[in-house]
Structure 1
Amino acid sequence: MEHSVVSRQEWLEARRALLQKEKEVTHARDRLNAERLALPWVKVEKEYVFDTPSGPKTLAGLFDGRSQLIVYHFMLGPDWEAGCPGCSFLADHLDGSLPHLNHHDVTLVSVSRAPIEKIEAYKRRMGWRFPWVSAFSNDFNRDFHVSFTPEELASGHVTYNFTETPTEQAHDELPGLSSFYRDAAGNVFHTYSSYARGPEELIGTLMILDRAPKGRNEGSTMDFVRRHDEYEEKPKAASCCH
């Protein structure tokens, strides 16, 4: 992008005009957040049991004594060699949020279909601390439309991000985020889910880049992203599949 070089006064005038638009976006986000909180809930009737480093846990058990649970559907399939670079990029931002979320009655957990041993190995490689469990032995990821069978992928379309998505735009695993509430009686309710670029605001690095002189400087969405221990390797196209 070509940029004109102007006086400080001209820059201030342009910046103040942009500030008004930024404020409009902030206020629009506040309104959107209020609408998100007002969404109706769905009671989770099905029982899911997850494999965790400390043994099997139900969905209610993942709350870890809190009333709110946020699940990040991390793309790591049973036969994948490593986690999705894009999901790994997002996950790099989670550990610092944990004490703040926990203090605010929120538990954050990642869920993948890979066996727990594979999850633990990749977690050690990346140096992460956030809770991460396996849905290998249940239908959780399929029921929340982020994991797909070979038959579904061969059908021509899958349901993802609340729409029918052509399978050429899909993988066996896709990213997402789901929120749940547990009441005093132990009932669990599904309150919210977001897919595709929906959870993008969790990625603080992107928010910083949006304020850098060159912005995200990408040809396609997050094409510059690598796993954080691969930036010194020969450049290759980033991918969210194995």
Structure 2
Amino acid sequence: MSNSDPKHEVVSRSQWLAARRQLWLHEKAFTHQRDELSAARQALPWVKLEHDYRFHGPEGEVDLAALFGGRSQLLLYHFMFVEGWSEGCPGCSFLADHFDGANLHLAHHDVALVAVSQAPYPEFQAFRRRMGWQFPWYSSHGSSFNRDFAVSVATDGSEQYNYEPYQGDESELPGLSAFYRAADGQLYHTYSTYARGLDILVGAYNFLDLAPLGRNEGGTMDWVRHHDRYEQQPGKPHCCHD
């Protein structure tokens, strides 16, 4: 992109209002479609969990039920941080920057929000402190959890990611899974989403979608950095206008 202002039609206020009203009609239709989609998501059948998954956290080894924190609903983000890494995926970190604010409210609505990574628990503690995050973050190291929920995958097309054969070059990928804990303690898997299905979790993208230039990126999240890696003075995105 160039440094010049984008070429855009400039009209009178009355012409703008007419165009804005047409867009408003599309926005209202989209809102209703989104409500219908959410209802269909919540109407999905559930899968009874039979496997006793084990995780590692600040209190030592725990089971999946412990991740609910006494609540009946669990949103679990599959955070890309594998054994041997010194920092987490920038895209996952961008998304995780939204968790603590959300958790202030979710905790009062019977919903727990946690992250789970494949790396051993001690390996992401320095990065967590660096980022200043407070949300619960557990390790699934040594279990089949990441593979069972399709975020640890083979790169030869023999396994699926985002509900289709995967032929990318990364064997660890992001996702979000939802679970329900019944009154009798039985756990159920209710939903999982991956790739662009995670966009809804990124509040910053919703703000950008309202900005004059939108997301203004050459590729998904190609401008995103760990929040302590941006230039000191806020400016133009790294990917744009150069």
Please say if 1:161 is aligned against 2:162: yes
Aligned with residue 9 of structure 2, among 4, 28, 32: 4
Letter in 1 for 2:201: L
After TM superposition, list the pairs within 5 Å mapping 1:48-197 onto structure 2.
48-148=53-153, 152-153=154-155, 155-166=156-167, 169-197=168-196
Count of aligned pairs between the two proteins: 230
SS across alignment from 2:102: helix
1:107-148 deviation digits (Å, cap 9, x = unpaired): 111000111111221110100000000001211111101013
**1:219 lines up with 2:218 in the alignment:** yes
Contact 1:119 1:133 in 2 (8 A): no
* 2: CA distance, partners of 1:102 / 1:89: 21
Q: Does 1:25 align with 2:30?
A: yes
Distance 1:94 1:156 in 2: 32
CA distance in 1, matches of 2:88, 2:179: 24
Whole-angstrom CA distance in 2 between matches of 1:180 and 1:17: 40
Are the equivalent residues in 1 in contact too, given 2:55–2:62 (CA < 8 A)?
yes
Supply the distance in 2 between the matched residues of 1:113 and 1:236 (Cα, whole angstroms): 30
Q: How much is the aligned-residue C-alpha RMSD, in angstroms?
A: 1.5
Share of identical aligned residues, percent?
A: 57
Amino acid at match of 1:125: R
Q: Which amino acid aligns with 2:83?
A: P
Given the two structures, how large is their TM-score scaled by the length of structure 2? Answer: 0.91
Q: 2:200 and 2:157 mapped to 1: Cα distance?
A: 31
User: How far off its partner does 1:158 sit?
Assistant: 2.8
Retained in 1: the 8 A contact 2:84–2:123?
no
Unaligned runs of 5+ in 2: 1-5
**Normalised by the size of structure 1, how large is the TM-score?**
0.91
Residues 178-215 of structure 1 show CA distances to partners (whole Å, capped at 9, x for unaligned) of 00000111100000000011011111100000111111
Q: How has the CA–CA distance of structure 1 residues 36 and 156 changed in structure 2, closer, same or farther, with 3 Å as cutoff?
A: closer
Contiguous gaps of at least 5 residues in structure 1? 238-242
Question: Deviations for 1:49-105, whole angstroms, at most 9, x for unmatched residues?
Answer: 100011111001111111000100000011222100000000001100112111100
